[in-house]
Structure 1
Amino acid sequence: MVKRVVTGAHYGLRDWLAQRITAVVMVVFTLLLAAILMISPPHDEASWKAIFSNRWMRIASFLFLVSLFWHAWIGMRNILMDYVHATGIRLTLQILVILFLIFYTIWSAEILWALEMA
């Protein structure tokens, strides 16, 4: 009888689905932004502020960025699990990636909602 040694965290289907959903969100936002820029191309800072002054555009932008960061996390985690075999180094790198992505998420929210105050 052959015993199979199972390694890894078995994220399989969940990761695959998350990657597809976040990719769809990013594509939809990119097409939306492309359409907006083709209809009314901004020529100065005031035009760019006008585009992002709408609450729905800030929410859509934030959703895009959260999807991007989540997509990046799954990819980075998988790369680190596949190629960094030393557990301590891999854990340290994963924690650093998580901290950076959380930082960028908060920073993105601050940037998008600071436009409301300006």
Structure 2
Amino acid sequence: MSLQHPIARVRGLGSAKNGTHHWWVQRLTAVALALLTPWFIWLALCMVGADAFTVRATLAQPLNAVLMLAFVFSLFWHARLGLQVVIEDYIHTPWLEVTLQVFVMFACALAALASAIAIGRIVFTG
């Protein structure tokens, strides 16, 4: 039993003032994905049975390349934010939580970078 007042125990443990930003970014990426996913599914279905040249030519069109980049970046950013919340909520070992957070951050960044490079190679090489 502690003689310390409850306010004294929690002082300094309050809001980090970034929860609202995280919430908004997660919602904005969700809206972006809700708009871009039907386009991506439509594009993928149109490419069923197409040869590699046709697929590359379609993805090399400026509008399709920009939309694909937006889809990829929104997807990995949204995934990182969602996994961050899951790790914060369910992993209670401090060293494991930090390790997983760093791993998720680097994995999503590397995957987004690799995707951007792949899209760039499709667009800028013939």
Which bracket does the TM-score occupy, shorter chain normalised? 0.7 to 0.9
List runs of 5+ in structure 1 lacking aligned partners.
none
| Deviation by residue 1:54-106 (Cα, 9 ceiling, x = unmatched) | 12211211111111111111111111111111211111111111111111011
Q: How many residue pairs end up in the alignment?
A: 116
Q: Which residue of 2 aligns with 1:21?
A: 28
Change (3 A) 1:35 1:105: closer
Q: 1:72, 1:105 → 2: CA distance?
A: 11
1:2 Cα deviation after fit? 5.0
Aligned-partner residue type, residue 68 of structure 1? L
Q: Which residue of 2 aligns with 1:30?
A: 37
Q: 1:36, 1:117 → 2: CA distance?
A: 21
Root-mean-square deviation over aligned CA pairs: 2.3
Q: 2:56, 2:94 → 1: CA distance?
A: 46
Q: 2:44, 2:113 → 1: CA distance?
A: 26
| Deviation by residue 1:18-44 (Cα, 9 ceiling, x = unmatched) | 111101111211233345567xx2331
Listed as ranges, the matches of 1:1-118 within 5 Å are: 3=7, 5=10, 6=13, 9-36=16-43, 41-42=46-47, 43-44=49-50, 45-115=52-122, 116-118=124-126
List runs of 5+ in structure 2 lacking aligned partners.
none
Q: % of aligned pairs identical?
A: 25
Change (3 A) 1:73 1:9: farther
Q: Secondary structure at the match of 1:74?
A: helix
TM-score (normalised: structure 2): 0.77
